């Protein structure tokens, strides 16, 4: 099998698509923080397409790894060995697939190795956009939308002469840009948050102001923070997946990845230092991302969680496995149609019933086989984003709250780390404090509802809901999630 690097690009198996441009003629115009699978399967693919267009060669990507751990070091080593190249295999629901070698990331910086150098790299006047995928919980914004300056990660970073977080690196890079007269770059979040541009603005401007009020004011006046809606299901890649993907492609890629064939990116057109011609490669630009984001977060992401939490308890491993369970499918169908949709104002031309059907078809994609535990992970950060508007809508309107009460009960039970048939799994809940976990594990099944996760829901006003969640938890503990779900007679 052919290894992957610039030198082997022309000798890859004929069915593998390769960059439609000369990588040597490109220069970076974007720096992306946290180069995970999602970025590599989504934004980098769009940039790969744009680089093939006339006059667009200045928009290659500098990948910036933020973490300081063995996984990140391995990623950096592979990125260097493969000249930033990697293969992406996209699978349609019928199993057909296409593999391409993506060349958009032409440079990789491991910030932990030399943070000053990383800051200087971002401060290069050629960098016009700094984008990021630092996860829902990575913005440290509380239930009232305030940036949490006292969170240890942030409080420590504010004291460091050379900071380490995304907030610190970007703020210091903008300081250099201001001093050199190079002007601002756009800060573009690609995380699943409600009104993500505003959240990013709040977070970055609060951080910068706490570090240096003058600089904070300059950033707030000069930097733009477009909102974006990003969508593509991109599973984690296991060692077996690596072998399977490489056998399919005939390429010996050390870090291949795969995704569904669906992809969508909607961006608010607000770039203070210019942007690539992304509209030519399938990106939708709009003045108001809100309606797109409502549809995506409250339908796709919300039902992903609504499937994953009971699905994990019911001992399913993957999304397509769980989608064979008719009780779970009914739960999702009703959640989408009766709970989420009534409170959504979709963009013109988008039919919510069609969107719901498409979401369920995407979940059924057998080749994607997304892991339920990946989706359930970090639920403490995700549920406030994905479920809040639906839950508060239903509770205020006094509508049938059985499905959301069941979802909440499953979340609290999932925190016990044990399936219906007593199999244990490890939790990945970085945002969950020990206090929160203790509340969730208390004997009183209602105590968990006092966790900050639910702070914005005003649950003290809805005792009937609290009572139902508690009863459902007890039922799940005694009879399992499956029987409890059946008992709802949806």
Query: Which residues here bind ligand CS2, judged by CB under 6 A?
Result: 192, 231-233, 301, 304, 375, 382
Of 121 and 232, CB closest to ligand CS2: 232
Strands 284-286, 264-268: pairing is parallel
Q: How crowded is residue 163: how many other Cβ atoms within 10 Å of its Cβ?
A: 21
Of 211 and 382, CB closest to ligand CS2: 382
Smallest distance from the beta carbon of 233 to ligand CS2, in angstroms?
4
Q: How crowded is residue 95: how many other Cβ atoms within 10 Å of its Cβ?
A: 9
Of 127 and 193, CB closest to ligand CS2: 193
Of 64 and 233, CB closest to ligand CS2: 233
Which residue's CB comes closest to ligand CS2?
304
Q: Report yes or no: 46 and 56 within 8 Å, Cβ to Cβ.
A: no
Of 36 and 58, CB closest to ligand CS2: 36
Smallest distance from the beta carbon of 206 to ligand CS2, in angstroms?
26
Of 231 and 253, CB closest to ligand CS2: 231
Smallest distance from the beta carbon of 450 to ligand CS2, in angstroms?
24
Smallest distance from the beta carbon of 195 to ligand CS2, in angstroms?
16
Smallest distance from the beta carbon of 262 to ligand CS2, in angstroms?
9
Smallest distance from the beta carbon of 93 to ligand CS2, in angstroms?
15
Give the integer Cα–Cα distance in Å for 17 and 206. 44
Smallest distance from the beta carbon of 155 to ligand CS2, in angstroms?
28
Of 41 and 51, CB closest to ligand CS2: 41
> Residue 252 has which token pair?
């010996």
């Amino acid at each position: 099998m052919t290894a992957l690097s610039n030198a082997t690009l022309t000798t890859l198996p004929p069915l593998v698509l390769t960059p439609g441009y000369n990588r040597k003629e490109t220069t970076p115009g974007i720096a992306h923080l946290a180069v995970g699978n999602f970025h590599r399967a989504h934004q980098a693919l769009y940039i790969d397409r744009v680089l093939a267009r006339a006059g667009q060669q200045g928009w290659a990507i500098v990948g910036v790894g933020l973490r300081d751990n063995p996984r990140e070091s391995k990623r950096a080593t592979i990125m260097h060995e493969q000249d930033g190249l990697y293969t992406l295999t996209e699978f349609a629901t019928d199993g057909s697939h296409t593999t391409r070698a993506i060349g958009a990331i032409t440079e990789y910086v491991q910030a932990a190795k030399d943070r000053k150098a990383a800051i200087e790299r971002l401060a290069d006047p050629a960098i016009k956009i700094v984008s990021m995928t630092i996860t829902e919980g990575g913005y440290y914004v509380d239930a009232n939308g305030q940036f949490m300056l006292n969170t240890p990660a942030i409080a420590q970073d504010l004291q460091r002469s050379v900071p380490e977080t995304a907030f610190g690196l970007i703020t210091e890079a903008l300081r250099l840009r201001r001093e050199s007269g190079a002007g601002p770059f756009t800060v573009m979040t690609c995380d699943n948050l409600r009104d993500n541009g505003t959240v990013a603005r709040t977070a970055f401007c609060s951080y910068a102001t706490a570090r240096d009020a003058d600089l904070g004011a300059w950033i707030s006046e000069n930097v733009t923070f477009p909102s974006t809606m990003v969508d593509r299901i991109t599973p984690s890649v296991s060692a077996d997946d690596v072998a399977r993907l490489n056998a399919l492609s005939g390429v010996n890629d050390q870090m291949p990845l795969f995704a569904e064939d669906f992809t969508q990116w909607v961006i608010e057109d607000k770039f203070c230092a210019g942007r690539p011609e992304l509209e030519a490669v399938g990106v939708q630009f709009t003045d108001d991302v809100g309606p797109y984001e409502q549809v995506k977060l409250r339908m796709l992401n919300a039902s992903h969680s609504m499937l994953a939490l009971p699905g994990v308890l019911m001992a399913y491993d993957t999304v397509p496995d769980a989608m064979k369970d008719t009780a779970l499918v009914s739960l999702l169908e009703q959640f989408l149609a009766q709970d989420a949709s009534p409170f959504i104002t979709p963009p013109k031309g988008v039919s919510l019933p069609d969107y719901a059907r498409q979401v369920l078809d995407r979940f059924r994609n057998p080749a994607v086989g997304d892991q339920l535990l990946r989706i359930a992970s970090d639920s403490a950060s995700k549920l406030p984003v994905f479920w809040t508007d639906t839950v508060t809508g239903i509770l205020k309107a006094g509508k049938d709250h059985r499905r959301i009460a069941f979802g909440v009960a499953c979340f609290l039970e999932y925190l016990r780390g044990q399936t219906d048939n007593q199999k244990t799994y490890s939790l990945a809940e970085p945002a969950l404090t020990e206090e929160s976990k203790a509340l969730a594990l208390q004997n009183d099944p209602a105590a968990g509802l006092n966790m900050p996760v639910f702070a914005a829901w005003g649950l003290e006003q809805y005792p009937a809901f609290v009572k139902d969640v508690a009863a459902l938890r007890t039922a799940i503990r005694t009879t399992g999630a499956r029987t409890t779900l059946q008992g709802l007679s949806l």
